[in-house]
């Protein structure tokens, strides 16, 4: 469905002052797959998505969407994909049904056909009762569902979702996940960006972690955890200021140790065993727990804990 | 799952797909525009044409052939109104679609191209100019200011050309600046001086020589003069041709700039 080889995107000046947002990534997404781009803000996820959506021209490298070249067949590609952008881009002064209807018309679908699809899609995203409401008056979650419904009006082979649940409350997120999961079951290829690890674990069969315009890791969520983290993590709290002094005494107990202001993280295959050894050495943490490694650990390891804007 | 999406059938197919969008927008806004397009011209005609004009006993030789000030000012106001309608349609609504609601971004995500979007929107602006001008001409008719009915019909089409000659450059400007504060500039330094000094309300020969020369290069004057020639039935073929060519060139250049500027905003980012 998507094949990218050494894909690059830069903005701005023609020569030296150009900013490179995507610095040479290669990905392959197959039919029916749910594929995720993870990364902190500014990693190049949205730029990549805009190129895949056949909207933003590729600076260099090769890109094929549904076997077509976006530089040549942009409209044909866009006719067969669905796009759920980061910002809803709805016409807030029109009502819910009108927003859906006019969008269907952009694809050149006959009016009666669009009307019928609108009905089905409003049902699918549970907005049938809101059909005549102005978009302005909808909650964030409802707008997102409408945007998802809109992206499905052309019955796309490939659905692109740029941060589909950012800014939604937990209830709304779960409704969106549920709908996306159903689409996946129907065989729609999903490509999404997110910086929520739970979202990636829930939805993605396979994902890449991007940082500073490059892919830094690739695999299924389980593979990534296996490759880039340990099976378990032991978290120990010794009290403010003590963590740093204790750390050197226990660092040999784990494959990797991380000292944070409020706690120490021991990355290990067996967390209980590590904690037992800590106690054997006469150290008595105020609190300790063992948990499984998560995608979040992988993510933070690969992209760092430093805040990026 | 795959359902074929129809391919484009011609150069106007893309814009045609946007007709339902603009029809929906118009259904939502027409009530507001009725007041401005019907009442405002009536107020202008009464105030400027009838009441103010009652004090002006102009020599027809100095009124470019009009038999009364009302007959002189009516085609001028028609053209000036076409201009102000256009200013309203391609400033705030356009910036909203780029920057606030970002509706254009939803359009370019579909098979539509930037040129389709511009074409459809200009079509809507022309529709607005057409309705406003038709109403204006209908309102003026009972005042007995028209000398030539074929001229009135031709003047109606001149409003579309004049509207286009303003619409495309201002559309291009809006897409370029992307800053609503710049609108104050073009409204105050562009629209209002043009409205007042382009021969709509008095013959530009009344201006000082440099000012008159300046007025002659403004697009509104070309529209005013052409409308007036037609409505008064005093067409001068050679100057009319200059007016038409001038306005057409402006419209074409503006079209090219609009598509280029909007493409930079929406696609090449």
Domain architecture of chain A: domains with CATH? 2-220 (3.40.50.300), 230-292 (3.30.70)
User: What Rg, from alpha-carbon coordinates, does chain B have?
Assistant: 20
Element (H, E) at A65: strand A60-65
pLDDT at A261: 84
On chain B, the residues whose CB falls within 8 A of the CB of A107 are: 5-6, 17, 110-111
Element (H, E) at A189: strand A189-194
B224 pLDDT more than 60: yes
On chain B, the residues whose CB falls within 8 A of the CB of A102 are: 20-21, 24
- Rounded to an integer, what distance in angstroms lies between the CA atom of residue A106 and that of residue A267? 52
pLDDT at A89: 92
What are the structure tokens assigned to A299, written together?
């993510």
Percent with pLDDT over 90 in chain B: 71
What are the structure tokens assigned to B176, written together?
């370029």
HSE-up (13 A, CA, CB side) for residue A30: 3
Element (H, E) at A19: strand A19-29
What sign has the CA pseudo-torsion B18, B23, B28, B30?
positive
The closest CB to that of B109, out of A55, A90, A101, belongs to A55
pLDDT at B1: 42
* Nearest residue to A78 via CA among A156, A144, A9: A156
What are the pLDDT digits (tens) for B240-260?
999 999 999 999 999 999 999
B24 pLDDT more than 50: yes
pLDDT at B178: 83
pLDDT at B61: 76
Q: Do B2 and A98 touch (CB under 8 A)?
A: no
Confidence bin at B164 (pLDDT 50/70/90)? very high
> Is B13 at the interface with chain A, CB within 8 A?
yes
CA-angle at B74, arms to B150 and B203, nearest 5°: 110
The closest CB to that of A102, out of B3, B21, B266, belongs to B21
Place of tokens 């709805």: A90
- Is the Cβ–Cβ distance between A45 and A37 less than 8 Å? yes
Q: Do B103 and A91 touch (CB under 8 A)?
A: yes
On chain A, the residues whose CB falls within 8 A of the CB of B10 are: none
Percent with pLDDT over 70 in chain B: 97
The closest CB to that of B5, out of A80, A91, A187, belongs to A80
B11 pLDDT more than 90: no
pLDDT at A13: 62
Q: Do B2 and A80 touch (CB under 8 A)?
A: yes
Q: Which ipTM did the prediction report?
A: 0.90
Q: Do B113 and A75 touch (CB under 8 A)?
A: yes
HSE-up (13 A, CA, CB side) for residue B229: 17
Taking the CA of residue B87 and the nearest CA in chain A, the distance in Å comes to: 21
The edge-to-edge listing of strands for the beta sheet with A232-237 is A256-259, A264-268, A232-237, A287-292
What are the structure tokens assigned to A43, written together?
């990693």
Residue A1 CB partners (closer than 8 Å, separation 6+):
A29, A30, A31, A33, A65, A66, A157, A158, A189
What are the structure tokens assigned to A102, written together?
């006019």
Residue A309 CB partners (closer than 8 Å, separation 6+):
A41, A42
pLDDT at B2: 43
What are the pLDDT digits (tens) for B54-72?
888 777 778 888 888 999 9
Q: Do A79 and B113 touch (CB under 8 A)?
A: no
pLDDT at A243: 84
- Rounded to an integer, what distance in angstroms lies between the CA atom of residue B42 and that of residue B74? 11
The backbone torsions φ and ψ at residue B209, rounded to the nearest 5 degrees and listed phi first, read -55, -50
Please state, in angstroms and as integers, the Cα–Cα distance from residue B102 to each residue in A241, B74, B108, following that order.
Answer: 50, 39, 11
- Rounded to an integer, what distance in angstroms lies between the CA atom of residue A98 and that of residue A115? 10
- Rounded to an integer, what distance in angstroms lies between the CA atom of residue B70 and that of residue B74? 6
What are the structure tokens assigned to A304, written together?
């760092």
Q: Do A79 and B5 touch (CB under 8 A)?
A: yes
The closest CB to that of A94, out of B1, B28, B105, belongs to B28
> Is A157 at the interface with chain B, CB within 8 A?
yes
Three-state secondary-structure class, residue A240: coil
Burial code of A215-243, b = ≥16 C-beta within 10 A, e = fewer? bbbbbebeebbeebbbebbbbbbbeeeeb
What are the pLDDT digits (tens) for B35-49?
777 788 888 888 888
Spans of chain A, pLDDT less than 50: none
> Burial level of B188, CB count in 10 A (0-12/13-18/19+)?
exposed
Q: Do B106 and A90 touch (CB under 8 A)?
A: yes
- Rounded to an integer, what distance in angstroms lies between the CA atom of residue B89 and that of residue B249? 21
């Amino acid at each position: 469905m998507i094949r990218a080889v050494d894909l690059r995107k830069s903005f701005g000046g023609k020569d030296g002052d150009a900013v490179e947002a995507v610095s040479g990534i290669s990905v392959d997404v197959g039919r029916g797959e749910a594929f995720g781009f993870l990364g902190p803000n500014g990693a190049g996820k949205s730029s990549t998505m805009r190129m895949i959506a056949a909207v933003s021209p590729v600076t260099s490298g090769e890109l094929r969407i549904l076997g077509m070249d976006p530089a040549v067949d942009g409209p044909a590609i866009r006719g067969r994909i669905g796009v759920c952008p980061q910002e809803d881009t709805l016409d807030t002064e029109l009502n819910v049904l009108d927003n859906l209807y006019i969008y269907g018309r952009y694809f050149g679908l006959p009016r009666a056909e669009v009307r019928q699809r609108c009905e089905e899609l409003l049902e699918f995203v549970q907005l049938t009762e809101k059909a005549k409401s102005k978009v302005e008056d909808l909650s964030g979650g409802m707008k997102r569902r409408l945007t998802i419904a809109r992206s499905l009006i052309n019955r796309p082979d490939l659905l692109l979702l740029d941060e589909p649940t950012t800014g939604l409350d937990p209830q709304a997120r779960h409704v969106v996940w549920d709908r996306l999961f159903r689409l996946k079951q129907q065989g729609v290829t999903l490509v999404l960006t997110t910086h929520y690890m739970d979202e990636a674990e829930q939805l993605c069969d396979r994902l890449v972690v991007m940082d500073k315009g490059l892919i830094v890791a690739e695999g299924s969520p389980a593979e990534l955890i296996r490759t880039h983290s340990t099976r378990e993590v032991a978290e120990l709290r010794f009290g403010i200021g003590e963590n740093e002094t204790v750390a050197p005494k226990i660092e040999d107990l784990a494959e990797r140790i991380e000292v944070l202001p409020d706690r120490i993280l021991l990355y290990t295959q067996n967390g209980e065993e590590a904690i037992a050894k800590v106690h054997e050495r006469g150290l008595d943490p105020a609190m300790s727990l063992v948990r499984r490694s998560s995608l979040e650990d992988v993510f933070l390891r690969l992209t760092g804990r430093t805040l990026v804007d | 799952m795959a359902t074929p999406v129809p391919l484009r059938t011609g150069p106007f197919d893309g814009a045609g797909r946007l007709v339902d969008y603009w029809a929906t927008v118009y259904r939502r806004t027409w009530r507001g525009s009725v007041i401005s397009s019907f009442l405002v011209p009536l107020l202008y005609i009464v105030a400027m044409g009838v009441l103010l004009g009652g004090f002006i006993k102009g020599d027809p030789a100095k009124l470019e052939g009009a038999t009364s000030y009302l007959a002189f000012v009516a085609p001028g106001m028609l053209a000036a109104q076409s201009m102000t309608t256009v200013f309203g349609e391609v400033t705030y609504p356009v910036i909203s679609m780029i920057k606030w609601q970002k509706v254009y971004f939803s359009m370019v995500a579909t098979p539509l191209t930037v040129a389709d979007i511009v074409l459809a929107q200009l079509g809507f602006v022309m529709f607005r100019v057409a309705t406003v001008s038709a109403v204006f001409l209908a309102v003026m008719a009972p005042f007995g200011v028209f000398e030539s009915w074929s001229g009135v019909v031709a003047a109606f089409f001149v409003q579309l050309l004049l509207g286009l000659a303003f619409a495309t450059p201002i559309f291009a400007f809006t897409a370029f600046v992307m800053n609503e504060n710049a609108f104050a500039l073009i409204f105050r330094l562009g629209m209002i001086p043009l409205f007042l000094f382009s021969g709509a309300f008095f013959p530009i020969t009344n201006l000082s020589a440099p000012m008159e020369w300046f007025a002659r290069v403004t697009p509104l004057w070309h529209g005013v003069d052409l409308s007036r020639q037609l409505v008064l039935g005093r067409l001068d073929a050679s100057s009319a041709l200059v007016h038409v060519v001038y306005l057409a060139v402006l419209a074409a250049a503006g079209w090219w700039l609009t598509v280029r500027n909007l493409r930079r905003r929406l696609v090449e980012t």
